[in-house]
């Protein structure tokens, strides 16, 4: 067929999302659909005052993970957890999952057992159930998971609810997953240089490797916030990197923000890795992806409750849109904060974006997760 | 890692499903989950007396389709339609879809436009909306779609509701999609022999090629049955082949069945293709997959209503389980009817199972779609 051929990478990440949305524009919209493409998950009315949310995320060998790094049980866990993270970012709890798995010829029953054990473990930990799926042969291992969750209509939190005067908060710490990736890549390189076949050493730098290979969705945090009587005004999960997610909230809420760099938590082990590689710890914390913590905003009067809640930190403030997204540190003062790791479609790999540093020319577009 | 390596193909299709279910067995079950793995779709309570159903199906290049055969707009349509077909088989109407797409490097913007146009067209035709997704680079083109639908609690139809004395019915005709595949494979072979680059001739045998490349989910049929005042006692969509689906209903309902071969409808063009290839039309009709018609059972008193409903046929009867699944024709009398195209995991490709006749050693396991 004599069609013209324009590479997808030429569109860029947002160009691709916009173009997909254009093609879908004249599909009639259901009156029960509250949020379609444009947040961590789609949201629709389910009845009895409850909303359901649905999200889908795919993990592809050679793009999102390297099978020499990650035991299949961790991969199964991670595939569920990254989707639960999107559900939790709507302030919802996960209910059901479907899994579509493509298994290459060099995938054994033992590996598959590990994969399903990991998924089962995550399902138990997060209280959801795997209710259906489709398994097929494929050219490489891929896992596409869809998770459905629920939230009372009055409790749902979008990316778009932040207001000037709100405070910017996050759970846990950031940069660890990227530090873990650095360690794993370095281990592989060293072993390859010695001519030995690679086997990951999961004991060194346990915390950061765990952050990379077996991330945790923060269902515990939305429960803790509820117990503390705090309803975030906006929320997103930190999958692409902290700076990128602040930009998402800013754009969807039509606000600016200032991130106070010294207030952004990182683990000592993350710092040790950055030091070992002579890297800036701030770059890990701001631009390293895949930590799956929650970034959220709260009203000023809720800040004392946040201060009393374990595992969450106030890291900045919400300001007028015209001020843009900025970072403050005593050394540099106020500086524009670019999203980085963000517009990575068609560009060179960014820090922490994915496990594959030498994969194909574009990474991924989660178009339920971008403010199109 | 010194794990043993047992090929997945050694498990067989049911072995794989059983093994996955074992790994998931101790995940606590939600009280709102009515049907998990084991029917065309999972079913759960959504509130206000409504049930939601969810299903996922994947199409992978080289396994389920051949990109030289199918325009991307047809592929987009088909990816939505095959999932809608599973929703419809629960007597539900589709509401929302998510799409997870893996795009290889040789996939252009023009091809992607076609893909999304096809999905948008199917969404409009079936009244559902694409609400989220995840797009990534991949080694080959794959599309994993999840569709959520709804049905009133009193209207849901499972595979497991057939009773002795019910009548076996189906919509439309069967064997056409397999005939279309035969034509396309033959065209490719002829052109390759002539040393020309292959381009499909979509004008020859239009009906059967359309059946293969752009199947229709029978949402119209469940509406027609409702209008006629008929609620099927059991239902399944015909994706693997008619004989296979009768076995599914038989096993899940604990009944046997007799299919009256002369009553099974096929299109004259399907017969013309079978004649041209010196094949048995009955093999196309019974074992050819991918027709996406509905197979269902009705109570005896509803048979007159079926007779008056356009597009549906009575093709047999439900009998005691011990009689098994049988076929009757005047020439052969009563004969056991084997599922064929059914236990195809790890076996040689079966008629009509998939577009790739020389793909890897196993095909696919839709474990929401098998009576585990």
CATH number of the CATH domain containing B24: 3.30.1330.10
- pLDDT bucket at A168, cuts 50 / 70 / 90: very high
- Given a contact cutoff of 8 angstroms between Cβ atoms, the answer to whether B94 and B146 are in contact is no
- Least confident stretch, A102-106, A312-316, B8-12: B8-12
Which of B65, B105, B146 is most worth mutating to test chain A (most A CB atoms within 10 A of its CB)?
Answer: B146
Alpha helix positions (H), A142-267: 176-193, 206-213, 219-227, 242-253
Using a CB-CB distance cutoff of 8 angstroms, which residues of chain B are in contact with residue A96?
30, 33, 42, 44, 54
pLDDT score recorded for residue A292 = 98
**pLDDT, mean of residues B24-29:** 86
Give the domain extent around A21.
Answer: 1-156
Separation between Cα atoms, residue B340 and residue A108, nearest integer Å = 26
Per-residue pLDDT band for A11 (boundaries 50, 70, 90) equals: confident
Q: Which residue has the higher pLDDT, B254 or A22?
A: B254
Query: According to the model, what pLDDT value does residue A367 have?
Result: 52
Nearest to B129 among A33, A112, A369 (CB): A33
**Global pTM value:** 0.91
**A2/B346: higher pLDDT:** A2
Burial annotation B95-120 (CB, 10 A radius, 16+ → b, else e): bbbbbbbbbbeebbbebbbbbbbbbb
* Chain B residues lying within 8 Å of A1, measured CB to CB: 71, 199
Q: Which member of B27, B132, B364 has the closest CB to residue A124? A: B27
| pLDDT recorded at residue A372 | 30
How far is the first Cα of chain B from the last one, in angstroms, to the nearest whole number? Answer: 32
Q: Which of A112, A133, A156 finishes a domain?
A: A156
Among A63-72, B182-191, B347-356, where is mean pLDDT lowest?
Answer: B347-356
CA distance A301 to chain B (A): 34
Q: Are residues A324 and A282 in the same domain?
A: yes
Mark whether B1 and B148 lie in a shared domain: yes
CB contact under 8 A, A4 and B111: no
The answer to whether residue B238 sits within a structural domain is yes
Q: Number of A to B CB contacts under 8 A, please give it.
A: 310
- Describe the strand order of the beta sheet including A333-336 as a list of residue ranges: A234-238, A293-298, A167-171, A312-320, A255-260, A325-329, A333-336
Contact B134 A361 (CB under 8 A): no
Q: What is the ipTM of this complex?
A: 0.89
Which burial class, exposed, middle or buried, applies to A107 when counting CB atoms under 10 A from its CB (0-12, 13-18, 19+)? buried
Residues A207 and A242 grouped into a single domain: yes
Nearest CB among A55, A105, A362 relative to B137 is that of A362
Residue ending a domain, choose from A108, A139, A156: A156
Number of domains in chain A: 2
pLDDT (average), residues B308-323: 97
Domain-located, residue B207: yes
Instruction: Confirm whether A365 is domain-assigned.
Output: no
Report the residue from A36, A131, A364 with minimal CB separation from B33: A131
pLDDT of the residue at B366: 59
In this prediction, residue A1 has a pLDDT band, given cuts at 50, 70 and 90, of very low
Res A162: pLDDT = 98
Residues of chain B with pLDDT > 90, as a percent, come to 71
The CA distance from A165 to the nearest CA of chain B, in Å, is 31
- Over residues A107-124, the pLDDT tens digits come to 999 999 999 999 999 999
One domain for residues B206 and B62:
no
How far is CA B238 from its chain centroid? 5
Q: Where are the alpha helices (DSSP H) in B261-312?
A: 268-276, 281-287, 303-308
> Could you tell me if A120 and A226 lie in one domain?
no
pLDDT score for B324:
96
**Mean pLDDT throughout A200-207?**
78
Per-residue confidence band for B304, with pLDDT thresholds at 50, 70 and 90: very high
Beta-sheet pairing, B142-152 with B234-238: unpaired
The domain boundary residue, chosen from A132, A156, A180: A156
CA distance A281 to chain B (A): 29
Residues A333, A207 share a domain:
yes
Average pLDDT, chain B: 88
Q: Taking CB atoms and an 8 Å limit, are B96 and A44 in contact across chains? A: yes
Residue A364 in domain:
no
Residue B206 has pLDDT above 50, yes or no: yes
Q: So what's the pLDDT on residue B192?
A: 78
The verdict on residue A366 lying in a domain is no
Question: Residue B367: its pLDDT value, please?
Answer: 52
Q: Give the mean model confidence (pLDDT) for residues A166-180.
A: 97
CB contact under 8 A, B63 and A110: no
Average per-residue pLDDT in chain A? 88
Identify the residue among B52, B82, B90, B136 best suited for mutation to test binding to A, counting A beta carbons within 10 A and taking the highest.
Answer: B136
Residue B363 near residue A138, CB atoms below 8 Å? no
Q: Indicate if the pLDDT at residue A189 is higher than 80.
A: yes
Chain A residue with minimum CA distance to B94: A30
Identify all chain A residues contacting B198, using CB atoms and an 8 Å cutoff.
none
Least confident of A171-180, A232-241, B183-192, B228-237: B183-192
Query: How far off is chain A from B36, nearest CA to CA, in Å?
Result: 4
* Mean pLDDT, residues A59-88: 94
* CB spacing of B7 vs A109 below 8 angstroms: yes
> What would the mean pLDDT of B6-33 be, rounded to a whole number?
83
The pLDDT value given to residue B67: 86
Please give the average per-residue pLDDT across A136-146, as a whole number: 93
With 50 as the cut, is the pLDDT of residue A214 above it? yes
* pLDDT of residue A362 exceeding 70: no
Confidence (pLDDT) at A8: 83
- In this complex, do A62 and B139 lie within 8 Å of one another by their Cβ atoms? yes
**pLDDT for residue A361:** 33
Q: Using pLDDT thresholds of 50, 70 and 90, give the confidence band for residue B163.
A: very high
Q: Which of A127-131, A193-197, A299-303, B256-260 has the lowest mean pLDDT?
A: A193-197
**pLDDT for B348 beyond 60:** no
Q: Determine, yes or no, domain membership for B353.
A: no
Mean pLDDT of B30-40: 90
Out of B66-70, B187-191, B339-343, pick the least confident. Answer: B339-343
Mutate which of B52, B59, B144, B200 to disrupt the A interface (most A C-beta within 10 Å)?
B144
Does pLDDT of B167 surpass 80? yes
Kindly tell me if the per-residue pLDDT of B160 is higher than 60: yes
Hey, of B7, B48, B83, B132, which one would you mutate to test binding to chain A, going by the most A CBs within 10 A of its CB?
B132
Question: pLDDT value at position B11?
Answer: 80
Does the pLDDT of residue B203 top 50, yes or no? yes
Is A308 found in the same domain as A175?
yes
How many percent of chain A have pLDDT more than 70? 88
Residue of A nearest to B356 (CA): A137
Contact between B175 and B350 (Cβ < 8 Å): no
Range of weakest confidence among A21-30, A314-323, B1-10, B21-30: B1-10
Distance, CA of A46 to CA of B120 (rounded, Å) = 24
Mean pLDDT of all residues in A310-336? 96
Q: Sorting pLDDT into bands at 50, 70 and 90, what band is B349?
A: very low
CATH number at A208 reads 3.90.650.10
Domain assignment of residue A350, yes or no: no
Which residues of chain B does A64 touch, with a Cβ-Cβ cutoff of 8 Å?
Answer: 136
pLDDT band at B189 (very low <50, low <70, confident <90, very high): confident
- B56/A105 Cβ within 8 A: no
Instruction: Determine which of A101, A137, A196 to mutate to test the interface with B (most B C-beta atoms within 10 Å).
Output: A137
**A263 and A314 fall within a common domain:** yes
Q: Mark whether A138 and A162 lie in a shared domain.
A: no
Strands lying side by side in the sheet with B255-260:
B234-238, B293-298, B167-171, B312-320, B255-260, B325-329, B333-336
Residues B151 and B264 in one domain: no
């Amino acid at each position: 067929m004599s069609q013209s051929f324009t590479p997808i990478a030429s569109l860029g990440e947002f160009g691709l999302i916009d173009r997909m949305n254009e093609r879908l524009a004249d599909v009639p919209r259901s009156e029960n659909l509250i949020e379609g493409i444009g947040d961590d998950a789609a949201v629709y009315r389910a009845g009895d005052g409850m909303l359901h949310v649905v999200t889908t995320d795919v993990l592809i060998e050679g793009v999102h993970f390297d099978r020499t790094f990650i035991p299949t049980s961790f991969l199964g866990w991670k595939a569920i957890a990254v989707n639960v993270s999107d559900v939790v970012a709507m302030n919802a709890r996960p209910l059901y999952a479907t899994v579509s798995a493509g298994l290459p010829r060099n995938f054994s029953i033992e590996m598959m057992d590990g994969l399903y054990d990991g998924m089962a473990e995550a399902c138990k930990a997060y209280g959801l159930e795997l209710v259906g799926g489709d398994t097929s042969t494929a050219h490489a291992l891929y896992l596409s998971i869809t998770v459905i969750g629920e939230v009372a209509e009055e409790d749902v939190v979008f990316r778009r609810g932040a207001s000037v005067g709100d405070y910017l908060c996050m759970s846990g710490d950031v940069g660890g997953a990227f530090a873990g990736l650095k360690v794993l890549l370095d281990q592989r390189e060293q072993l390859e240089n010695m001519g030995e076949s690679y086997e990951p050493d999961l004991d060194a730098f346990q915390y950061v490797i765990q952050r990379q290979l077996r991330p945790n969705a923060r269902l515990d945090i939305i429960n803790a916030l509820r117990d503390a009587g705090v309803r975030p005004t906006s929320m997103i999960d930190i999958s692409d990197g902290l700076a990128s997610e602040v930009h998402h909230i800013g754009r969807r809420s039509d606000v600016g923000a200032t991130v106070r760099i010294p207030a952004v938590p990182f683990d000592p082990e993350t710092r040790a890795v950055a030091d070992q590689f002579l890297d800036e710890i701030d770059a890990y914390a701001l631009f390293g992806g895949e930590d799956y913590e929650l970034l959220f905003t709260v009203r000023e009067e809720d800040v004392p409750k946040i201060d009393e809640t374990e595992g969450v930190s106030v890291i900045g403030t919400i300001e007028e849109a015209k001020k843009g997204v900025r970072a403050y540190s005593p050394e540099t003062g106020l500086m524009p904060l670019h999203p980085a790791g963000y517009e990575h479609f068609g560009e060179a790999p960014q820090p922490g974006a994915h496990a594959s540093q030498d994969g194909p020319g574009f990474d991924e577009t989660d178009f339920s997760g971008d403010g199109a």
